Structure 1
């Protein structure tokens, strides 16, 4: 840690040097205050000045993000300094913009649920929603969503399930296809729920399952294996469309069909079915959503 106590790391010449040797970030520790200004060279200078952003306490490794305080995994700060951009720059603030608040209100997601799950918005583009990914209470990644439903993940984001801490001691868990569906199930009384971090496949693979180290599309499952292994009952509540059905099958193949159950979304009208948890919440309410999940059926290829 002594190398980080030198102020010369803040000079342009050493910035350029360490930018090449250490990917994306570096930190310097002020010996007098024991506080660490974190600098991110990959953000334009107009929005990121060296040494002028977050003060990370060395002992607790805490970073102030917007209006809230979140823990940051020590290895992200100090193991080759792989600190993601969204942590190194003051980009996240609490949900406050009317348009974003209205977006969640229309979907019957309460501010209490948003707060518990640390849902934020970008400060420089306040119509972009930020879903913070945490593990053991520490921030390990972030996924962004625009009002136009465009998604991307912050650089350095760990491949894990969204809401993984909520199933750390659960013997029964629910897996959904999106962060908003996870929030929707919380409105129905289910906190033992996680979401996959990426979209569903177009169809089920016809190939045998690859070795774990080569199963890159579902690496988020293997990274959470210790959590999933504790579950004796896994309820799959993916979207009611071909990709959602394909995702359910791919999950069941890896998790074991014998412990998987499937939520069957009800009819919306004479010609169609509800697509996902949030759609049911919006049109039928939290109590109805709860009953539908509780009535999940054992998983078979037919459902």
Structure 2
């Protein structure tokens, strides 16, 4: 019964008004070039009206973009008022429903002419990408033929995580990170049964609304890897709910260090890479390196002041620039790490905590300067 999506197929109960009225259909000028099928279905019966209009927009008086949105609705994509031609919109993905965190992870773009829409879900467990045309082509052509994989709910048991042992506790104690801070941030370790080498592996659990959505592993010898299927979000995202001011650091241990200094409103980038530096920023759907920012966009949009406390090296400075460009330099502030000796400065938050103490780290955050001012001073040197 269902025609292809190049026709307009609308399903509604008979008692509900159709997308356009029968009166408008019968009173509009109609040609006999092509056929239009409109279905109205109820649980007990169905009615088919077959008429032959020449052009959807001219014959029926329905804007092209509204017809396109009806096609999207058939695919489960529910458009809202933000879905206008020439702009990107964040919607709920009908394939994965935003996972357990209910993220609006589907990036939808309607071209300016209103005759094509394309989209991509940025959740790694979904990654649904496709497009739909108004007319003239198949209803939707797959952009990336990748079978949908259902969201896998991560648990401590499923990941084989156990409470940290004496060796890992001693490692953090040396870095001045307390057991209380480790517990509050649900830092665990990988069970030795999983590792052939029997080495101690720290597990930083990435949680959103209390649920584990990712996990990053680190050996004591600084070997890193990420659990397959982890969502790309900021580490500690639940700590900045409704925060007006936040701190962004470059590593999980630096986030824990900030907490030792009294700053819980801190998150960490999941990786230190800054991607390619280009004069113009890529579109949100192509900005894969910073997908973790777009996945947390709703929370970040509410923040009025962002302190960038990335590492004091070339990679960290590049990351700070990339973050500022995406978050807005007007609301970004930059730390200046104190001197370690006559020739160098401390590298990051944990180094300051370890060698100078929590009061010194607190003073670093309290002495930040506007990011634009820091950049202008660097350029004049």
Does the alignment reach a TM-score above 0.5?
yes
Tell me what 2:168 maps to: 100
Following superposition, the deviation at residue 251 of structure 1 comes to 0.1
Larger Cα Rg: Structure 1 or Structure 2?
A: 2
Superposed, 1:145-164 pairs within 5 Å as: 145-164=218-237
CA distance in 1, matches of 2:315, 2:101: 37
Give the structure, 1 or 2, with the largest relative contact order (CA under 8 Å, sep 6 or more): 1
Tell me what 1:246 maps to: 318
Alignment length, in residue pairs? Answer: 229
CA distance in 1, matches of 2:101, 2:324: 34
Contact in 2 for aligned 1:84/1:157 (Cα 8 Å)? no
Contact in 1 for aligned 2:162/2:188 (Cα 8 Å)? yes
1:1-20: per-residue Cα shift (whole Å, max 9, x none)?
xxxxxxxxxxxxxxxxxxxx
Tell me what 2:330 maps to: 258
Of the three residues 100, 121, 133, the one matched with 2:189 is 121
Unaligned runs of 5+ in 2: 1-98, 103-122, 126-147
CA distance in 1, matches of 2:281, 2:245: 25
Distance change (3 Å), C-alpha of 1:181 and 1:83: same
Contact in 1 for aligned 2:155/2:212 (Cα 8 Å)? no
CA distance in 2, matches of 1:217, 1:157: 14
Superposed, 1:129-148 pairs within 5 Å as: 129-148=202-221
Of the three residues 178, 192, 208, the one matched with 1:110 is 178
Contact in 2 for aligned 1:84/1:154 (Cα 8 Å)? no
Which structure is higher in helix share? 1
Say whether 1:276 aligns with 2:348. yes
CA distance in 2, matches of 1:135, 1:249: 26
CA distance in 2, matches of 1:90, 1:113: 22
CA distance in 2, matches of 1:198, 1:246: 13
State the Cα RMSD in Å: 2.2
CA distance in 2, matches of 1:147, 1:84: 27
Distance change (3 Å), C-alpha of 1:178 and 1:90: closer
Unaligned runs of 5+ in 1: 1-71
- Which structure 1 residue ranges, 4+ long, deviate > 4 Å from structure 2? 74-77, 84-88
Tell me what 2:309 maps to: 237
The TM-score, its normalising length taken from structure 2, stands at 0.57
